[in-house]
Amino acid sequence: MEALFGFIYTGCVDRLDRSRVSVMLVLCSMLDARGGITERLRARVQPQMAAEIFALSVDDKWDGSSEPVPKAPALRGLLKLAASLLTRNFAEATGTKESMRVMDQRTLLEINSQKSPV
């Protein structure tokens, strides 16, 4: 909440710790935040954040056998962004222990099903 209020008063998210960008992005998407904060947070998303964003956005009941389902309609675009980053930048997106730690079998199966043959 401190970062959200900071943006309201200063208009910047530069001081937001990088580890909080994913959580803030999900929160702002759920709240349908206006005034550019969601866009500024999206601009700070890096492939290493994709797995966490995916995990925070996908419905817990999604079984991995079909297209990922968002936890809420407001998270549909964010889930699509995370899935796209994971499939297009797999090596970079999964290159840290933290990103691998948040992935489960159904996420890996979804990523694998989206990868185009080389």
Count the Cβ atoms, other than its own, within 10 Å of residue 26.
Answer: 23
Each residue's pLDDT tens digit, 67-91: 899 999 999 999 999 988 888 888 8
Each residue's pLDDT tens digit, 29-45: 888 877 778 888 888 88
pLDDT at 59 over 90: yes
Q: What is the pTM of this model?
A: 0.77
What's the gap between Cα 92 and its chain centre? Answer: 15
- What's the number of domains the chain is made of? 1
Quickly state the pLDDT bin for 118 (edges 50, 70, 90): very low
End-to-end CA distance of the chain: 44
- Domain that includes residue 64, residue range: 2-114
